[in-house]
Amino acid sequence: MPDGKGKPLWTSRRGFLGRALTAAGTAIAAPSLLNAQAKEKVTDSLGEGEMQVTLTVNGKVRTIGIEPRVTLLDALRERLGLTGSKKGCDRGQCGACTVLIDGQRVYSCLALAVMQEGKEITTVEGLATGNQLHPVQSAFIDNDGFQCGYCTPGQICAAVALLDEVKRECGSAVTPDLTQPPQLADLSEAEIKERLSGNLCRCGAYNGIVAAVQQATGQTPPSPAALMLGMEQEARL
Binding interface with ligand FES (CB under 6 A): 87-90, 92-97, 107, 109, 146-152, 201-203, 205
Say whether 126 sits in a helix, a strand or coil: helix
Of 182 and 201, which CB lies nearer to ligand FES in the complex structure? 201
Give dist(CA 105, CA 136) in Å, integer: 15
Partners of 56 in beta bridges: 61, 120
DSSP 16-42: HHHHHHHHHHHHHHHHHHHHHHHHHHH
Of 66 and 182, which CB lies nearer to ligand FES in the complex structure? 66
CB of 134 to ligand FES, least distance (A): 18
Give dist(CA 40, CA 53) in Å, integer: 17
Of 53 and 151, which CB lies nearer to ligand FES in the complex structure? 151
CB of 196 to ligand FES, least distance (A): 12
Of 147 and 175, which CB lies nearer to ligand FES in the complex structure? 147
Say whether 120 sits in a helix, a strand or coil: strand
CB of 186 to ligand FES, least distance (A): 27
CB of 107 to ligand FES, least distance (A): 4
Which phi and psi (to 5°) does residue 102 adopt? 50, 40
Of 97 and 182, which CB lies nearer to ligand FES in the complex structure? 97
Provide, for the chain, the percentages of residues in helix, strand and coil under a 3-state DSSP scheme, each rounded to the nearest 5.
Answer: 50, 15, 40
Do the Cβ atoms of 18 and 43 come closer than 8 Å? no
CB of 60 to ligand FES, least distance (A): 23
Do the Cβ atoms of 141 and 119 come closer than 8 Å? no
CB of 31 to ligand FES, least distance (A): 47
Give dist(CA 191, CA 53) in Å, integer: 38
- The one-letter amino acid code at 49 reads G
Of 20 and 228, which CB lies nearer to ligand FES in the complex structure? 228
Of 79 and 87, which CB lies nearer to ligand FES in the complex structure? 87
> Radius of gyration of the chain from Cα atoms?
30
Burial of 181 (0-12, 13-18, 19+ CB in 10 A): middle
CB of 155 to ligand FES, least distance (A): 7
